[in-house]
Amino acid sequence: MKRIGEVVRTAQNLAVVRCPDDDHPDFGMDVVDENLTEIGRVVDVFGPVDRPYVAVSPDEGVRLPTLLGQPLYAR
């Protein structure tokens, strides 16, 4: 399990995660929170190469506003 970053905002029913460095998860990777609760999947990587953003499509039942400021992890 690898930390992918912190949720900095939500937009268009996606969680936007800021990566701490240039190492980002691949498309389709499962994303979990620190309690190993399934959050969703990586659907996009965008922004600057040295610290990209990752868009996570949430699983059904995940409330996006509760994720703001939370660290997320790739499994």
- CATH number, domain at 20? 2.40.10.230
Structure confidence at residue 69 (pLDDT):
96
Structure confidence at residue 11 (pLDDT):
94
Number of domains in the chain: 1
Within a domain: 67: no
How far, CA to CA in Å, does 42 sit from each of 10, 22, 57, 62, 66? 14, 16, 6, 15, 18
Which token pair is 69? 């400021």
User: For 14-59, how does the pLDDT look when each residue is reduced to its tens digit (9 = 90+)?
Assistant: 999 999 999 899 999 999 999 999 999 999 999 999 999 999 999 9
Within a domain: 37: yes
Q: What torsion do the CA atoms of 27, 29, 33, 34 make, to the nearest 10 degrees?
A: -120
Structure confidence at residue 1 (pLDDT):
87
Residue entry with tokens 């498309």: 27
What is the domain extent for residue 47? 2-62
Within a domain: 72: no
